Amino acid sequence: MKKLLLFVVLLCSQMLFAQNDWIGNVHFDNAVDKIFVKSNGEILLQMKTKSDGIIVLDSMGTLVKKLQLNNGYAGKIGGILEQGDSTLVLISGSSCDALFISYYVFDENWEMISEVYPQAPIYGAGSFYRLEDGSWVIYDNDRIERYDPDFNALIGHRNTNSYEEAFVIVPGDTMILVDGLQLIKMTSDFEVVKSTIISQVFDLELASDGTILAFGLDWIAKYDTELNMLDIKGYPHGYYKQAAVTDGEFAVLTDVPSVVRFTNDLQMIGEFELENIESVTFNDLSYHTGKLVLGGGKRWGTIQHGNQSGFLKFYTLDGQTDPIYGDVQLNGVEHLGSMHSVWVGPNHWNVTFYDIKIDIENKSSDTLHTVVLNSRMDVISIPIGCIIFREYSWLINDLDIPPYQSGEAFLDSIEYKVLNTETPDFAPCFWLSLPNDSWDTDNDNDVFCANLPVAVKPERVLKEFSVFPNPAGGQLQVARESWMPTNQASYVLTDVLGRAIAAWNVEPASDRQSLNLENVPAGVYTLLVKSRGQVLGAARVVKQ
């Protein structure tokens, strides 16, 4: 079940903030995964890439704050609890395969008051609920756990066979859930009170009249709290993705994509289709100030060189919204200035390039004022053993590129966190995205790849040597250079984290040496020439 609040907090009615009669669109750095709405209209967004944290918006959709929690491993929002002017946010997730939970208390300005890391061992990472006695319930798709109010002890648990959303708590701390093909009513002590057979269910929601809504792939069933079925209806089109409830009605997001609205009695009261644009996905929806807000992601660039930006899109209940279309082409990225690097840890460097020129072509019918330049580097280990991808975005304002014309933009600097920077250069790829008012309708023209020089130790230049074929299959040929040592030398193949994958002794009497890569996985590597502990040369190798 997708919870908007842990305690029973009614969503904003149609009269709340009625003076703000607006329909808007808001974009973010990453795809929106879940939408949570507070009673004052503030919106919390869980982003698709968990390391990107949590986005807080005010009731008008204006960015308030971007919260970075758990040292960048934000995890999943398990629930939100309002305590007067404070907000308690509960997080669950995994870091380096270790499950964790934590909760944070923020004041009305979203300044952190406290953070707590519970001491009890955690067996699942799912949605949080707080019971009337202050204890906590965590529901995962295969386990329900109950903890004491301080998360210091596990009170009890039950294993289940269900889906992540198929769980609700009704008054009296009674749990209703789907376990396999059974709908079960259970006490907070995990005692089964009643069960009934049910078809495959993807979600349970608590309607505003206290009944239970069960969402199948192409149907909705309504139950009372005694598990008696009251009615069942099918969707007019498409299959279920998500649902949202408010006073007197609920809405279903389908894969068409479309939104279908029903009364609590399962009478359809409206349907509208959403924009069906390539690379745009709708992931969640919620009622908000008498309208519907939908969130999702738009892929920029290509699958190999690109990322997702998130968006919120606001609709009236009958589906009216502002159109957001555009197209921008990236024709070049050029480094005109100097480079500076700073060592920040073992094999980790911050590298800054100064004076960057970007060639942009506006392929839409409106004047282009703002774009975002994006890039992505290889994996980085923070901490040791945890691997994440590092993506970068630089906002470029104050453009004035007429429709179907080209122009130039300049950035004072761009900075990367890189590994293994004894390699003389690397070739990051860049792509453009459009913030706040447009979806780019053509991804194929967004990407440009450029060589940028890296010299962490300018006084020490690594020598180059030839390898072929590159990309390589099972065998890689290395051409011997005159500077290579004749003894006590080796070729060492390292991955993007600087780890040695394979090594071979240099054959001094050979002009060409064959290296066996049969057992090396496909990827990008660096082949080093080493002698007496020193790295003398490097070559970039791509293994197919």
**Residue 518 pLDDT:** 86
**Residue 405 pLDDT:** 94
Residue 77 in contact with residue 104, Cβ under 8 Å?
no
Residue 253 scores a pLDDT above 70: yes
Q: Where exactly are the structural domains of the chain?
A: 328-453, 467-543
Whether 328-453 and 467-543 share one fold: the answer is yes
415: burial class by Cβ within 10 Å (0-12, 13-18, 19+)?
middle
Per DSSP, which regions of 134-273 are E strands?
136-140, 143-147, 154-159, 167-170, 174-179, 182-186, 192-197, 203-206, 212-215, 219-223, 229-234, 240-246, 249-254, 258-263, 268-273
Residue 366 in contact with residue 403, Cβ under 8 Å?
yes
CATH number for 328-453 (one of 1.10.1740, 1.20.120, 2.60.40, 2.40.40): it is 2.60.40
3-class SS of residue 310: strand
Per DSSP, which regions of 29-161 are E strands?
32-37, 43-47, 54-57, 63-67, 76-83, 86-95, 98-106, 112-116, 127-130, 136-140, 143-147, 154-159
The alpha carbon of residue 83 and the mean position of all alpha carbons in its chain are separated, in whole angstroms, by: 28
- 537's enclosing H/E stretch is strand 534-543
Report the candidate in 330, 284, 324 with the shortest Cα–Cα distance to residue 306.
Answer: 330
* Mean pLDDT, residues 239-258: 95
pLDDT in tens, 346-367: 456 677 888 889 999 998 888 8
Highest mean pLDDT among 115-129, 440-454, 474-488: 474-488
**Residue 227 pLDDT:** 97
Rg (CA), the chain: 27
Residue 516 scores a pLDDT above 70: yes
Per DSSP, which regions of 384-474 are E strands?
387-396, 406-419, 425-426, 429-433, 447-449, 452-453, 467-468
pLDDT in tens, 297-333: 777 666 666 666 677 888 999 998 876 667 888 888 8
* Mean pLDDT, residues 384-392: 54
As a whole number of angstroms, the distance between CA 442 and CA 434 comes to: 12
Confidence bin at 419 (pLDDT 50/70/90): low
As a whole number of angstroms, the distance between CA 158 and CA 175 comes to: 12
As a whole number of angstroms, the distance between CA 66 and CA 75 comes to: 14
Residue 377 scores a pLDDT above 70: no
**CA distances (Å), 132 to each of 8, 188, 193, 364, in order?**
11, 10, 19, 56
* Mean pLDDT, residues 174-187: 93
Residue 418 scores a pLDDT above 70: no
Among 59-63, 380-384, 471-475, the minimum mean pLDDT is found in: 380-384
In this structure, the number of other CB atoms found within 10 A of the CB of residue 169 comes to 22
Mean pLDDT of the chain: 77
As a whole number of angstroms, the distance between CA 206 and CA 245 comes to: 8
Residue 119 scores a pLDDT above 80: no
pLDDT in tens, 274-284: 988 777 889 99
Confidence bin at 91 (pLDDT 50/70/90): confident
* Mean pLDDT, residues 408-426: 69
In this structure, the number of other CB atoms found within 10 A of the CB of residue 435 comes to 18
Residue 34 in contact with residue 46, Cβ under 8 Å?
yes
Residue 55 in contact with residue 44, Cβ under 8 Å?
yes
**Residue 28 pLDDT:** 63
Confidence bin at 57 (pLDDT 50/70/90): confident
Residue-wise over 274-304: b if at least 16 C-beta within 10 A, else e? beeeebbbbbbbbbbbbbbbbbbbbbbbeee
Confidence bin at 500 (pLDDT 50/70/90): confident
Give every CB contact of residue 206 below 8 A, 6+ residues apart in sequence: 1, 168, 169, 170, 212, 213, 245
**pTM of the entire predicted model:** 0.66
**Residue 342 pLDDT:** 65
Q: CATH number of the domain at 467-543, please?
A: 2.60.40.10
Among 20-29, 238-247, 368-377, 530-539, the minimum mean pLDDT is found in: 20-29
**Residue 496 pLDDT:** 64
The residue type at 371: V
Confidence bin at 386 (pLDDT 50/70/90): very low
Per DSSP, which regions of 238-370 are E strands?
240-246, 249-254, 258-263, 268-273, 280-288, 291-301, 306-315, 328-335, 339-345, 348-362
Q: Residue 418: CA atoms inside 13 Å, Cβ hemisphere, count?
A: 25
* Mean pLDDT, residues 427-440: 68
